[in-house]
Structure 1
Amino acid sequence: YTESQIKQSKMEMSEYIYGNVDIILDENRNRRAESENDHIYDDPHMSQDSGGNIWEEVPSMGRPGVDSSGMDISGRRSSRQATVCWVLLCVLLLNMTKEKNQLKTSYTNLIKERDQLETSYNNLTKERNQIKRERDELQKIFSAFKQAGTEGWTPFQSSWYYISSEVKSWEHSRQDCMNRGADLVIINNIREQTFLTKLKKSLWIGLTDKDIEGTWKWVDGTPLTTAYWMTKQPDNFKEEEHCGEIHNNNNVLNWNDMLCATKLNWICEQET
Structure 2
Amino acid sequence: MNVNTVSTGHLKNDDRFIGLEVYKAMENNGPAEKGKFESCFGKSRSIVFTIVLCALILLICIILIIVVWVLNSATCRELKTLDLQVSKLQQHAMEEQDDLNTKVANLSNLMEKICTACPVGWHAIDSSCYYLSEEKMTWYGARNECYKVDSFLAMITDRKKSDSVNTLFTGSIRYWIGLRRDPKNIHIWKWLDGTEVTFTNWAVTQPNLINQSQRCGETSSGPWNDESCNFWYNYICEKKRSC
For the Cα contact (< 8 Å) 1:217–1:224, is it kept in 2?
no
SS of equivalent to 2:188 = coil
CA contact (8 A) 1:203 1:264 kept: yes
Tell me the equivalent position of 1:170.
139
Q: 1:223 aligns with which of 179, 186, 197?
A: 197
Counterparts in 2 of 1:84 and 1:236: CA distance versus 1, 3 Å:
farther
Any idea what the Cα deviations from partners look like across 1:113-158, whole Å, max 9, x if unmatched? x9xxx9xx99xx6x99888767644422323x2xx3xx42245688
State the alpha-carbon separation in 2 of the partners of residues 201 and 139 from structure 1. Answer: 32
How far has the Cα of 1:90 moved from its partner? 6.9
- Identical aligned pairs, as a percentage? 20
2:121: which partner in 1?
152
- After superposition, the Cα gap between the structure-2 partners of 1:156 and 1:83, relative to the gap in structure 1 and judged at 3 Å, is closer
From 206, 218, 221, the equivalent of 2:178 is: 206
CA–CA separation in structure 1 for the residues paired with 2:41 and 2:106: 95
Over 3 Å counting, the alpha-carbon distance change for 1:128 and 1:140 in structure 2 is: same
Distance 1:83 1:193, change over 3 A: closer
The letter of the residue matching 1:265 is N
Report if the CA contact (8 A) 1:160-1:271 is conserved: yes
Task: Note the aligned Cα RMSD (angstroms).
Answer: 5.0
Code of the residue aligned with 1:213 in structure 2: it is I
SS in 2 for 1:46: helix
In the alignment, the residues of structure 1 paired with residue 7 and residue 148 of structure 2 have an alpha-carbon distance, to the nearest angstrom, of: 134
CA deviation vs aligned residue, 1:224-266 (integer Å, no higher than 9, x gap): 32323243x2222343432101247xxx54x221233433210
Structure with more relative contact order (C-alpha pairs < 8 Å, separation 6 or more):
2
Match of 1:239 in 2: 212
For residue 45 of structure 1, report the CA deviation from its aligned partner: 1.5
* Structure 1 portions without partners, runs of 5+: 1-41, 48-54, 62-66
Alignment TM-score, normalising by the size of structure 2: 0.53
Aligned partner of 2:55 among 67, 81, 96: 81
Partner of 1:267: 236
Match of 1:44 in 2: 7
Q: Quick check: 1:45–1:57 contact (8 Å CA) kept in 2?
A: no
Instruction: Indicate conservation of the 8 Å contact 2:188/2:196, yes or no.
Output: no
Q: CA deviation at 1:173?
A: 2.4
Query: What's the secondary structure of 2:53's corresponding residue?
Result: helix
SS in 2 for 1:215: strand
Long gaps (5+) in structure 2: 20-39
SS at the partner of 2:186? Answer: coil
* Alignment counterpart, residue 71 of structure 1, candidates 17, 24, 45: 45
TM-score by length of 1: 0.48
Partner amino acid, structure 1, of 2:200? T
Aligned residues: 190
